[in-house]
Amino acid sequence: MPVNRVPVRNFVDGLFVDGPSSFDKVSPVDGVVVADVHLADSVLVDRAVQAARRALNGPWGATGVPERVALLRRVADGIEERFDDFVEAEVRDTGKPASLARQLDVGRAVVNFRQFADTVSSEGLDSFLTELPDGRRALNYAVRKPLGVLAVVVPWNLPLLLLTWKVAPALACGNAVVVKPSEETPSTATLLAEVMAAAGVPAGVYNVVHGYGASSAGEYLTTHPDIDGVTFTGESSTGSAIMRAVAPRVRPVSFELGGKNAAVVFADADLDATIQGLGRSVFTNTGQVCLCTERVYVERPVFEAVADGLTAFARGLVLGDPYEASTTTGPLISQAHRAKVSSYLDLAVEAGAEVLAGGGIPDLGADLNRGAWIEPTLWTGLDNTARVVREEVFGPVAALVPFESEDEAVRLANDSPYGLASAVWTTNLQRGHRVAQQMRVGMSWVNTWYLRDLRSPFGGVGLSGIGREGGRHSMAFYTEPTNVSVQL
């Protein structure tokens, strides 16, 4: 692990800026301080918002689609050129295996900019030739305009991936942004500022302010009167707070929030493929992905086989140094988050769970024991009334619950206030289509998990969010259409 203590500064109006104070960023791997992060106070947040407004009202506001597309492609190239720097920053903040950061986080960041460059250059709006009963004729067509100055608030679990998932379409559509990364993962948003500047992004178009949520940069930003919209990924409770903050000014929001995702395994499923798929969906990124599975409903005839196979998968995971090739699983993001997840391990036992794997804090040796490690954990013996089956844990945990019929499986899977994603495992594709369409979620997979087409709608229902991102669905949030009607 890198141990150099690096400064992480705010980026406002094209310049790196110190804050009035700073805080220590601690590695979740071994508890070592790895960065000094400069806090943005309300004055600095206001400077960032005003810089974004000036950029929007200046030449950036007149920049055409071809120029913006070329700029996004230069940013993608810049991330590729500094690929290893982004991997190091991501690992330093999150502790995730470097192999995962390379494959998932940094790789997707490059793709996000190129994908939205393609989307904005090809996406059009409706036009109509109108003929009225009185004989008048008109051409009606719509044009897209940028939404304006956007607050982009991103979480700590996939910080670069989710940052670029929002910033790329925002800039593609001509907006200016003020980014507030999580205090736990400030580095890649700051590194991206260097790439933005080198690519020629005008001053004020991309700004970064660091800090916490309430009574800090997050609140200062989302309550700022000159913000035109907020896009946020994170906890449902934080989404509710942001909605309250923007309600008096009636600002649009795009939220991808929490999940308590279900997998449904039927007796005719390919069990080897299913167990491998479940292993990924439960334990990827130490369970710290909004799309991860925390509820596994298994048809009774194959319940024991699935439980045994998934238990073997969990016990085969390797926790350790993120740069070791054998490491499959990193720590949780922080000691505070480990305390939360650990409390759910206790709750499960109190509720009568049988622990199939994990259930505690591992002993990894003197250095790593200072980190935020926890064992990959599986339970049986619980039902949908247990708190650990109803509430989002956001860790490497899952409850396995048997079912008897297709109707029961659908009912159990939909018995949740969340509705982000689901996965259905069956070799009967008629059943797969049928059940997947009945899931009360925004995304439903059949015989796979996390297989994404970035043009498809991404988002959830219920406590899992508002709106959709991806391809033209992102364009709907990041632009305001204006209809033009010309009498002929």
173 is known as an active-site residue? no
**Which token pair is 297?**
């409903």
Catalytic residue among 90, 290, 294, 392, which?
A: 290
Q: Could you give the angle at the alpha carbon of 401 between the alpha carbons of 396 and 406, nearest 5°?
A: 125
Inter-residue long-range contacts of 131-140, CB under 8 Å, 24+ positions, other chains counted: 136/487, 137/487, 137/488, 138/485, 138/486, 138/487, 138/488, 139/485, 139/486, 139/488, 140/483, 140/484, 140/485, 140/486
Coil, helix or strand at residue 9 = coil
Question: What is the β-pairing status of strands 253-256 and 421-425?
Answer: unpaired
- CA gap 50, 207 in Å, rounded: 10
Q: What amino acid is encoded at 88 in this protein?
A: E
The 8-class DSSP code of residue 85 comes to: H
- CA gap 482, 460 in Å, rounded: 27
Half-sphere exposure of residue 187, counting CA atoms within 13 Å on the CB side?
25
Note the Cα 410 to chain centre separation in Å.
Answer: 26
Catalytic residue among 88, 183, 256, 375, which?
A: 256
290 is known as an active-site residue? yes
- CA gap 31, 441 in Å, rounded: 37
- Convert 378-389 to b/e letters by CB count within 10 Å (16 or more is b): bbbbbeeebebb
Q: Which residues are catalytic?
A: 256, 290
